[in-house]
């Protein structure tokens, strides 16, 4: 039994909180076990066909009830359900003697094997399995309804909810907690669109039972047993106390459209211009002139201030059509980013030379940096190439733990470094970024990451190298304050976050930012670090 | 019946996922034509099953070959262009 006040952590969806009674969903009936048919293949195929149409009609009805956001989801599900290939695979199972429902489930599992382990398809796989269960239930003549109360106020707690489940949510559903599922699960998408407070991926929720009172607190990424309104985590509001932020806030861009949109924001230049998007759709290597033209157009459109351009960051997981990168078992640990120099030196030199032409044409201040630098030698090699190619400030991305230990030796080589926190986390924690099960290790508030970042800020300063952060964490206003407190000299955020990050960095002094960072350092885990930093920020804004 | 060949590139940042797969199959079924798709340079399969499309596991940047059986080349070319649209994400 969970004690009053117990905190269960997950991932919050939405900004409002709700306190209500727990309702654990139970499936109405269990499905019959796998079985063979009595020998009449034709009858089994006919009964499968009828069941598929019945479930398809059921989905159509749910789609109408669910409204705009979900209609497309149901349309995609119906197409999967009525997939001819799937039906043929099921027919082959019937020919082997399995009855209609077992055959359909087996057919789905044949496809499941192909998709297993592929994070992108994991959520779809769950949807298809749910459909198979519905087909089996229809054949057996049982209901798979959720049996959700229609009156009262309840927080619905379950493993995860399929689109067909969420369509059955009644007005009595005022909150949702799921044990599985991530921020991109259907449950999360539906709750966001219906403004139902939810916490997903909350493993400890398995201990919640009917009748318990809980507070669903998405802003705090948590559920509190017996929680009250006063336990609600307040969404931070930042009141700018000065005109300028304590460190410049730049924008991340990848295309001309981004550059134009960023100019409309308050960003001071560009802190990360991802160049690979320009090459993704090219079938052959663009000429130097073509590249220079595209770059010049973007440089001219970019917001005033320096523009930090990252040379191509491709690999076998991010392939570029005209660079043959082959297949790798571990693309994140393979030949990617600057490591392409081995086989594609000419391409990287071309890129730098095109940028120099564009720099002259546009008259802008251009900084260039290389991604995935792991050694001193790579940094020196890139700096030499870049300085030979043009009048740039030259830097590197800090993403590998190894280069952190050599920053101090690069004092006379580099003008700046920029930290990519997502990749740095992935390599520091040996946790695949693409694996949703490891999400908590990639939380930027992890104490080990905070300490690694602090070390980077300190050694860069000692070496006289300007330091910035362009990873996703720099788009979180509270985290941006922590980064400034560590000593970083700029941050680069996603376009839509520039305004709020600027506001946060204008609401504190340098000294206060350091205090917020010191508070974050007291945490023993990511949640504690974050809460301590937010508490320190709240105390400052209350002054 | 002649065959028009073309190629498309997956530009969607999450690869060839359920939505574009569904859109392609719906388009193909509505056209009534036989359309085959597959990884560039490999065996192609009929584009009438969203699951088979998903099973290609085509990631962002992947080039796909497309073949359309139709005597009207303009229709076939327009169909390939529409498939490319679906893959833009």
Tell me the ipTM for this assembly: 0.83
The mean per-residue pLDDT over the stretch A146-173 comes to: 85
Write down the residue that tokens 């030796």 correspond to: A409
CATH superfamily entry for domain A41-140: PtsI, HPr-binding domain (1.10.274.10)
Cα A5–chain centre separation: 30
Query: Which residue out of B20, B45, B50, B58 would a mutagenesis test of the A interface target, given it has the greatest number of A Cβ atoms within 10 Å?
Result: B50
State which of A25-34, A142-151, A420-429 shows the largest mean pLDDT.
Answer: A420-429
- A420, A392 in Cβ contact below 8 A? no
Q: Give residue A469's pLDDT.
A: 97
Size of interface A-B (CB pairs under 8 A): 63
Any idea which fold A249-542 has?
TIM Barrel (3.20.20)
- The fraction of chain B above a pLDDT of 90, given in percent, is 38
Above 70 in pLDDT, residue A436? no
Above 70 in pLDDT, residue A67? no
- Asked if A328 is an interface residue toward chain B (Cβ–Cβ < 8 A), one would say no
Q: Band of the pLDDT at A120, cuts 50, 70, 90?
A: low
- Asked if B85 is an interface residue toward chain A (Cβ–Cβ < 8 A), one would say no
Q: Band of the pLDDT at B14, cuts 50, 70, 90?
A: confident
Cα A36–chain centre separation: 44
CB nearest to B60's CB, from A115, A128, A318: A318
Above 70 in pLDDT, residue A66? no
Contact B55 A114 (CB under 8 A): yes
The mean per-residue pLDDT over the stretch A422-451 comes to: 87
User: Residue B75 and residue B6: Cα distance in Å, rounded?
Assistant: 13
CB nearest to B51's CB, from A75, A80, A318: A80
Residue A84 CB neighbour total at 10 angstroms: 15
Q: Give residue A320's pLDDT.
A: 82
What residues in A contact B55, CB-CB < 8 Å? 111, 114-115
Above 60 in pLDDT, residue A28? no
Structural domain span for residue B60 = 3-86
* Domain positions in chain A: 7-23+146-231, 41-140, 249-542
User: Residue B9 and residue A530: Cα distance in Å, rounded?
Assistant: 41
Interface of A with B in 71-130 (CB under 8 A): 72, 75-76, 79-80, 83-86, 111, 114-115, 118, 120-121, 124, 128
pLDDT (tens digit per residue) in A73-117: 778 788 888 888 899 999 999 999 999 999 999 998 888 887 776
Q: Which residue of B has its CA nearest to A280?
A: B61
Instruction: Confirm whether A327 is a catalytic residue.
Output: no
The mean per-residue pLDDT over the stretch A300-313 comes to: 96
Q: Looking at per-residue confidence, does A69 or A340 come out higher?
A: A340
- Three-class DSSP category at A281: coil
Q: Give residue A362's pLDDT.
A: 96
Cα A258–chain centre separation: 19
Least confident window among A40-44, A252-256, A319-323, A466-470: A319-323
Instruction: Confirm whether A186 is a catalytic residue.
Output: yes
> What region does A393 belong to: left with phi over 0, alpha with psi -120 to 50, or beta?
beta
Query: Which residue out of B6, B51, B52, B57 would a mutagenesis test of the A interface target, given it has the greatest number of A Cβ atoms within 10 Å?
Result: B51
What residues in B contact A84, CB-CB < 8 Å? 48-49
- The fraction of chain A above a pLDDT of 70, given in percent, is 94
Q: Give residue A513's pLDDT.
A: 97
What CATH number is attached to the domain comprising B47? 3.30.1340.10
Least confident window among A87-91, A128-132, A192-196, A483-487: A192-196
Whether A41-140 shares its CATH topology with A249-542 is answered: no
Q: Give residue A480's pLDDT.
A: 96
Contact A83 B50 (CB under 8 A): yes
CATH 3.90.1150.10 at A7-23+146-231, yes or no? no
Write down the residue that tokens 């290939």 correspond to: A85
Mean pLDDT of all residues in chain A?
A: 88
What residues in A contact B24, CB-CB < 8 Å? none
Q: Band of the pLDDT at A15, cuts 50, 70, 90?
A: confident
Least confident window among A176-185, B19-28, B74-83: A176-185
- Asked if B44 is an interface residue toward chain A (Cβ–Cβ < 8 A), one would say no
Across-strand partners of A158? A178
Distance in Å, alpha carbon of A324 to nearest chain B alpha carbon: 11
């Amino acid at each position: 039994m969970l004690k009053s006040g117990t905190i269960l952590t997950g991932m919050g969806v939405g900004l409002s909180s709700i306190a209500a009674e727990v309702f654990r969903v139970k499936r109405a009936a269990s499905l019959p076990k796998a079985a063979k048919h009595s020998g009449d293949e034709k009858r089994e195929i006919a009964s499968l066909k009828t069941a598929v149409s019945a479930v398809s009609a059921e989905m159509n009805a749910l789609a109408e009830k669910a409204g705009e956001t979900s209609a497309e989801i149901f349309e995609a599900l119906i197409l999967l359900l009525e997939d001819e290939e799937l039906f043929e695979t099921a027919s082959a199972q019937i020919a082997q003697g399995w009855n209609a429902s077992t055959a359909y489930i087996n057919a789905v599992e044949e496809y499941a094997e192909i998709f297993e382990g592929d994070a992108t398809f994991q959520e779809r796989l769950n949807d298809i399995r749910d459909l198979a269960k519905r087909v089996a239930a229809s054949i057996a003549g049982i209901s798979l309804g959720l049996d959700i109360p229609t009156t009262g106020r309840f927080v619905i707690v379950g493993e995860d909810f399929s689109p067909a489940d969420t369509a059955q949510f009644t007005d009595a559903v005022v909150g949702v907690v799921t044990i599985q599922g991530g921020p991109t699960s259907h449950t999360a998408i539906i709750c966001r669109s219906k403004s139902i407070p939810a916490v997903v991926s909350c493993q400890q929720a398995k201990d919640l039972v009917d009748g318990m009172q809980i507070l669903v607190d998405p802003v705090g990424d948590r559920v509190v047993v017996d929680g009250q309104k006063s336990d609600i985590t307040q969404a931070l509001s930042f009141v700018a106390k000065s005109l300028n932020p304590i460190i410049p806030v730049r924008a991340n861009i990848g295309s001309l459209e981004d550059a134009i949109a960023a100019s409309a924001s308050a960003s001071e230049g560009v802190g990360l211009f991802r160049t690979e998007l320009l090459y993704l759709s090219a079938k052959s290597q663009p000429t130097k002139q073509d590249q220079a033209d595209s770059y010049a157009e973007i440089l001219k459109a970019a917001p005033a201030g320096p523009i930090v351009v990252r040379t191509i960051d491709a690999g076998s997981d991010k392939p570029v059509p005209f660079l043959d990168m082959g297949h790798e078992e571990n693309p994140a640990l393979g030949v990617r980013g600057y490591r392409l120099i081995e086989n594609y030196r000419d391409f990287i030199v071309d890129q730098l030379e095109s940028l120099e032409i564009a720099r002259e044409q546009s008259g802008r201040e251009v900084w260039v940096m290389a991604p995935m630098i792991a050694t001193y030698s790579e940094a020196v090699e890139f700096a030499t190439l870049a300085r030979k190619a043009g009048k740039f400030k030259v830097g590197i991305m800090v993403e590998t733990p190894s280069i952190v230990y050599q920053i101090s030796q690069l004092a006379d080589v580099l003008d700046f470094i920029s930290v990519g926190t997502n990749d740095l986390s992935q390599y520091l924690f040996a946790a695949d970024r693409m694996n949703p099960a490891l999400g908590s290790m990639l939380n930027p508030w992890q104490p080990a990451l905070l300490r690694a970042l602090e070390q980077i800020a300190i050694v860069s300063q000692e070496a006289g190298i300007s330091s910035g952060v362009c990873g996703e964490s720099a788009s979180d206003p509270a985290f941006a304050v922590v980064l400034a407190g560590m000593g970083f000299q700029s941050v680069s955020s996603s376009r839509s976050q520039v305004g709020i990050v600027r506001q946060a960095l204008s609401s504190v002094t340098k000294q206060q930012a350091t205090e917020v960072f010191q508070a974050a350092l007291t945490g023993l885990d990511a949640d504690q670090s974050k809460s301590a930093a937010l508490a320190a920020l709240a105390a400052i804004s209350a002054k | 019946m002649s065959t028009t060949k073309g190629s498309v590139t997956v530009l969607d940042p999450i690869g060839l996922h359920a939505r574009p797969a569904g859109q392609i199959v719906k388009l193909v079924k509505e056209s009534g034509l036989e359309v085959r798709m597959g990884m560039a340079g490999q065996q192609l399969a009929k584009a009438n099953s969203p699951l088979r499309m998903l099973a290609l596991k085509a990631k962002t940047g992947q080039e796909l070959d497309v073949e359309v059986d139709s005597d009207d080349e303009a229709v076939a070319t327009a169909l390939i262009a529409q498939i490319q649209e679906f893959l833009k994400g």
